[in-house]
């Protein structure tokens, strides 16, 4: 879902940029403002998805560290590989 949200954010930004440019060219301040608002909406959506990914990655990293350390606490490699 995260990639879908990011893609939608990029699409909103592109659509907003087109509206803004059309508003500038035609002198339509309302269209220009709508385009700027749509770009902000897209950046916000993309930012939210990035934040979700960051939190998810942090959580998975913490969970992964716990799994790796189970049973290895206090053990040190002596470097002596004799059988």
Tokens of 83: 């059988």
For residue 10, what are the contacts with CB-CB under 8 A and spacing of at least 6?
Answer: 42, 46
Q: Rounded to two decimals, what is the model's pTM?
A: 0.66
Mean pLDDT along residues 58-72: 68
* pLDDT given at position 32: 97
Please write the tens of the pLDDT for every residue from 4-18: 888 999 999 999 999
**CA atoms of 49 and 6, how far apart (whole Å):** 6
**CA atoms of 67 and 60, how far apart (whole Å):** 11
Please write the tens of the pLDDT for every residue from 13-58: 999 999 999 999 999 999 999 999 999 999 999 999 999 999 988 8
């Amino acid at each position: 879902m995260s990639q879908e949200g990011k893609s939608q954010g990029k699409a909103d930004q592109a659509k907003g940029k087109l509206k803004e440019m059309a508003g500038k060219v035609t002198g339509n301040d309302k269209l220009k403002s709508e385009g700027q608002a749509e770009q902000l909406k897209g950046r916000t959506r993309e930012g939210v998805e990035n934040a979700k990914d960051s939190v998810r990655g942090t959580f998975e990293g913490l969970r992964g560290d716990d799994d790796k350390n189970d049973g290895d606490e206090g053990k040190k490699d002596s470097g002596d590989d004799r059988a």
